[in-house]
Amino acid sequence: MRNSPCYATLLDMWMRAVCWVAVLGVAPLWGAPAPSPSDWVPARWQWNDAKSLELLADNPINCLLLKNYSAELVSAAAARGLVTLAVVTPGSDALAVTRKALAAKLTGVVLEGDFPADIAAAIREAAGSAPVIELTSRSHMKLGSGAAIIGTYQGVWPGVVVQQAGHAKSGPTGSVWIDTNTGFIRAVRAWGDTPLWLANEPPAHTVITSQRYLQVIADAQASGARWVISLDSDLAAKLAKRDADAIRDWQRIGQLTAHFERHPEWRHMNEYGKLALVQDPAKGGLLSGGILDMIAVKHTPVRPIPREHLTAQSLQGATMAVNVDAEALTPEQKEILRNFTRGGGMLMTGPPGWKDPTPKGEKITLDPPELERLNDIWKDVNSMVGRRNLGVRLFNVSSMLSNVLVSADGKSEVVHLVNYSDYPVENVTLHYLGDYKHATLITPEGVEKVLEVYRADEGWGVDVDKVSVCATIRLEL
């Protein structure tokens, strides 16, 4: 029995359970079973009273980030099986704040900001087995560290960039430009499957409609991350009063979050596309508005490959590749790309002298000159791709971004669509490669509808009647 797969699985499960109990050693164990970190659905909780937890009825949020908390709230949260994390920011009292939180029986702490290494180490030591989640600047994220969760407090606020007089701005790609964190998320997730949190807050002095909240959630989730739900003070105050409109908005936020949380398998699927992008995720990949976002605006399915993970196998299935920073490659990596072209693949490299820009401090987007240079690369990519179907071609999606994922066994794909306009988009068409004969539309509104599949150029096609904020098309053999 010891050598049987069944025994190995049971042992593995038991070990995981033991570790998990250890991790939550300081957490009350008398409530509902606590979720594991990969299942934590986080929100900044702006209320101090236990009654506020009523808002979590039918809502998948199960992890509260608390700047202020009362014993009553912590106790009630624990009784509901919720994870509570104290938010600790850099400062002289960070260690004291941590100790106080753990004494108050919070589950753990979130270090938000870039802490000096010695302070962070002292906090981790003080926390013992309690979880310590680090939300750093993008450039300080510990990619590939094996942390239970990695995250950042930096992010752009997603949406169509609007120019004067209400007209959408054409970005460097010539299409409508959409501010998004998806390129960053995808670059980071190409490094590993660690749960990723984006904890940027709503922009100040701005009216945030419910639609914008839905967009920021979908922007992160469609690429496999979670946005730490964070409400502006106006909406939080209205919710505290149980204002009917605010409750409706809150329910929509819950509904959309649940759409993704109902399908944890999506988060573990692989990026799909016959175009591969070789890029250092610790450099340009950490910036928003970079080459991944530029390609995304054109809805070309692209598979980011961290330079460090570049192997012949990682390029399998790709017919085109873009090597952003040619000079950064080792001789072995250059040979891999040479072999790729010898095997019939098309390769495009960045212009001579081009260095992939690196994020610094609070800078998470490209400077205009960098954007200009990158735009040249993008034009070449666009020209190389042309009308080719590199996995999926989407039509009538100018206000949307998409992400194409494939299961490990290749038996199913999902295509996430996120609409950043204020209006639902009608009549979206999807042409895809691969012999997927079954297509299902899944929406946050609870629709699960079988779509008619028809022959299209180079493959198959399906039509989607309407996309509100987000929709997912599941393709199966």
Partner 1 sequence: MTRREWLAMIGAAPLVRAAGTPDAPAAPVSIARCATYDEDITAKLGTMFDQLGGLEKLVRNKTVTIKLNMTGAPSNRVRGLAPALTHYTHPKLVGAAAYHFGRAGAKRIRFVESPWAWAGPLEEVMLDSGWNPRTIASAASGVEFGNTNVRGAYKTYARFTVPGQAYMYPAYDLNRAFEETDVFVSMAKLKNHDTCGVTLSLKNCFGNLPASVYGDDSGVNEPNEKPNSGRLAVGHNGRRQPSKSAPQELHFGQNHDPGYRVPHIVADLAAARPIHLQIIDGVESIAGGEGPWVSNVRVVKPGVLIAGLNPVCTDAVATAVMGYNPRALRGSAPFKKCDNTLVLAEGHGVGTTDLKRIEVRGATIQQVLYRYDS
Angle at 292 between CA 291 and CA 294, to 5 degrees: 60
Residue 470: DSSP 8-state: E
Nearer to partner 1 among residue 126 and residue 453 (C-beta): 453
Report which of 394, 420, 398 is spatially closest to residue 473, judged by C-alpha positions. 394
Question: How far, in Å, CA of 8 to CA of 402, rounded?
Answer: 39
Nearer to partner 1 among residue 48 and residue 211 (C-beta): 211
In Å, what is the CA distance from 200 to each residue of 83, 113, 157, 227?
A: 20, 11, 8, 8
Question: How far, in Å, CA of 233 to CA of 219, rounded?
Answer: 22
CB-CB contact of 135 with 127 (8 Å): no
What three-state secondary structure class fits 10? helix
Contacts with partner 1 by CB under 8 A lie at: 160, 164-168, 170, 174-176, 387, 395-399, 421-423, 425-429, 454, 463
Nearer to partner 1 among residue 175 and residue 251 (C-beta): 175
Smallest distance from the beta carbon of 456 to partner 1, in angstroms? Answer: 10
Nearer to partner 1 among residue 145 and residue 170 (C-beta): 170
Nearer to partner 1 among residue 48 and residue 429 (C-beta): 429
Smallest distance from the beta carbon of 157 to partner 1, in angstroms? Answer: 17
Nearer to partner 1 among residue 92 and residue 383 (C-beta): 383
Smallest distance from the beta carbon of 47 to partner 1, in angstroms? Answer: 34
Smallest distance from the beta carbon of 395 to partner 1, in angstroms? Answer: 3
Smallest distance from the beta carbon of 391 to partner 1, in angstroms? Answer: 17
In Å, what is the CA distance from 407 to each residue of 66, 304, 402?
A: 36, 16, 17
Question: How far, in Å, CA of 14 to CA of 36, rounded?
Answer: 14
In Å, what is the CA distance from 209 to each residue of 46, 47, 181, 295?
A: 18, 21, 19, 28
Smallest distance from the beta carbon of 174 to partner 1, in angstroms? Answer: 8
